[in-house]
Amino acid sequence: MADEKSHFQKQQGVSKDASRMVTVNGVRLAYEIHGIGEIPLVLAHGAFESRRTWDRVVPHLADSLRVLTYDQRGYGQSERASGQVGILEHVADLAALIEHLGLSPAWAVGQSSGANIVLRLAGERPDLLRGIIAHEPSGLNLLADDPATAPMLEHFPQLIAEVTERIKSGDHAGAAKQFVEEGLGNGTWANFPPWFIQDVIENTPPSLDTLNDPEDSVFDPEWLRGFTRPVLLTFGDQTAPVFPLTITKIAEALPSVEVQKITGAGHPVQAQQPEEFAKAINAFVLRHTK
């Protein structure tokens, strides 16, 4: 681990490092380093994705920040461990990655289930973070008593079951499209860029664990009441209605939080409005950096 750590710390002056591997918690994870800034920031992708989904965002961050992108275990080029992999493993991996690469304390940005990961990390290891930015985390349990979201929540278990069967049968494209269309809204799939659709399809198999992890879509606001560092929660104005409602619930629990709407974006903000999302990240991070 010392070699990996020293390698990362020598990246001042290098605009972008080639993909590398590091072993944390017994699993080899693929990662890249971008930029020459002094402020460390890590980007956590969501389910059905890999670190490549940040490729349109990174160029707008690398001038001012030192950005780490990585593939979560099982995704992209990272190794898949045996057995069920859930959000708790992903949180532990991110914590270990930050520590072993000498980033602490770092800013952490997450989208979708990646947002869930960074929020959980903030509750469990606040010492590792300077602040967090979370785009549309899921917390379906927070909406259990909301009649406006009842139809969607009631259908969700059936959707997961059907998508699971499609993945197991090898119909990865069909599984991904069904999950997006029924989970985010009809017509959403057609609005995804082709490169993003390809990444989603390729990363459908490891998403099976996330879909069937009972911890992934559950959020307890008490986890974050002690996190006093800056938090930015974002959502797109083209997104499914559950996400702004969830963000409102999470924001109520945080002592230091801002909420921002990203115009022209839905759930995969890094694919639909990469420059606008990068602007939001840069502005928030630099404003809270002394």
Instruction: Domain count for the chain, please give it.
Output: 2
Helices (H), the chain: 2-9, 87-100, 113-124, 150-169, 172-184, 194-202, 204-211, 242-251, 269-272, 274-287
| pLDDT tens sequence across 160-199 | 999 999 999 999 999 999 999 998 888 899 999 999 999 9
Residue 145 lies in a domain: no
Which residue did the predictor score with more confidence, 210 or 146?
210
For residue 36, the one-letter residue type is: I
Domain end call among 196, 211, 226: 211
Mean of pLDDT values over 267-284: 97
Please give the residue range of the domain that contains residue 85: 2-140+214-287
Domain end call among 168, 184, 211: 211
Which CATH number characterizes residue 269's domain? 3.40.50.1820
Percent of the chain with pLDDT over 90: 71
Confidence of residue 2 (pLDDT cuts 50, 70, 90): very low
CA distances from 286 to 58, 134, 135, 198 (A): 16, 16, 18, 33
Confidence of residue 18 (pLDDT cuts 50, 70, 90): low
| pLDDT tens sequence across 65-99 | 999 999 999 999 999 877 889 999 999 999 999 99
CB of 57 closer than 8 Å to CB of 126: no
Residues 158 and 48 in one domain: no
Residues 10 and 92 in one domain: yes
User: What pLDDT, on a 0 to 100 scale, did the predictor assign at position 195?
Assistant: 96
